[in-house]
A = this chain, B = another copy of it.
Amino acid sequence: MVKKRTRKPSAVIAERIHRCRAEMAKNKLWAYLLTNRPDHYYLAGFSGEDSALLVTRKAVWVISDGRFEESIRKECPWATVTLRKGQLAAEIGMVCKRLRLKAVGVQTDHLSIDEHAAIRKAAKPTRLVKAPPIVNTMRLCKDQADLRALAEAIRVAEEAFKATRRSIRAGQTEQEIAARLEYEMARRGSTGPAFPSIVAEGPNAALPHAVPGRRKVRRGSAILFDWGATVGFYRSDLTRVAFVGTIPPKIRKIYDVVLQAQVKAIEAIRPGERMCDIDAVAREHIAQAGYGKQFGHGLGHGLGLDVHEPPALSWRSDQKLQQGMVVTVEPGIYLPGVGGVRIEDDVLVTAKGCKVLSHLRKDIASAVVR
């Protein structure tokens, strides 16, 4: 069942499709198959699962199934739609053949070996070629619509954190506090945590990916929160530490080091700087304080429709910062058996420097609750 629609896409979507087609033309690519779901939302406003988008010079095809018929009607009534009854690969093949495509560019980073083989078989004689990373590159630098959505995802996460922090009582478990935090986000419009929330008490904070458990907070606890909201499909990502009543001396010491490292790294962010050099600003500060080995992960990562997306703000990357990128800046120090501190903000690279998009205070005094 193929339906041709007539309404027009929004200005934001029209502009993105236009830029995508311009890049396709530069690369002599006349058909571009998108199998990475966030790209469907980015390029067509379409939120469905188990679907594919095919961008040609004349149309944007949504290859989906009956479950998403109503979503398509609401989200992209201007698209050309085909609803499969069988396998997705078969339907993609049918469309390629119908359009007599000689070649179609595929996302080799978001297509499994098996899916690729199935589409290749179904699409014959259309050839599958590796597409250049067109949408990936577009998504690197955020437009105004991206930034509005990100700001809202950050706002919801921050308001929810403030509400949760006020509710912390000795005797609560990490799990209970995490549940409250996610509830406060959801109430404010988050469609789900941006990633599994971390609420880690005491020594659990030494695990960079701790899972909230039955460990109880008590007076004198340091609790690490790493959380984010999803609003309009965009994700925020923040980390703060909260102290219940008093600050453990060992944690106070590393808190100061981490905070200074984070502030220094943020100050260094401007277009043209290399990722590894920004990472090094924080890393050297932490190393000089004697905690070099206790900071095992990269400084940060891109943020948008995915909670981890390019660029990697890491010692491994010599890519340069560009205006419009949004990155997390999140140094940490972890003392196994004792605890850990990580402080994370979401930062937009501007024309001459940067703008911190998150607003929660991070001085140690503000981190004490009760």
Contact = CB atoms under 8 A, between A and B. Distances in A.
A141 B114 CA distance: 23
A111 B353 CA distance: 38
A187 interface: yes
Given A108-B113, A183-B180, A196-B191, A209 B175 contact: no
B109 A336 contact: no
A71 B207 contact: yes
Interface stretch (A11-19, A62-70, A278-286): A62-70
Given A67-B209, A207-B71, A176 B182 contact: no
- Copies of this chain, whole number: 2
Contacts of A179: 183, 186-187
A187 B209 contact: no
Interface residues of A, number: 48
Contacts of A70: 206-207, 336
A186 to B, nearest CB: 3
B71 A209 contact: yes
Contacts of A178: 186
Given A66-B296, A108-B114, A179-B186, 15 more contacts: A47-B211, A49-B209, A67-B297, A69-B296, A106-B113, A108-B112, A109-B112, A109-B114, A112-B113, A113-B116, A113-B130, A175-B189, A180-B183, A182-B183, A191-B211
Interface of A: 47-49, 65-71, 86-87, 106, 108-117, 130, 175-176, 178-180, 182-183, 186-187, 189, 191-193, 196, 206-209, 211-212, 296-297, 316, 336
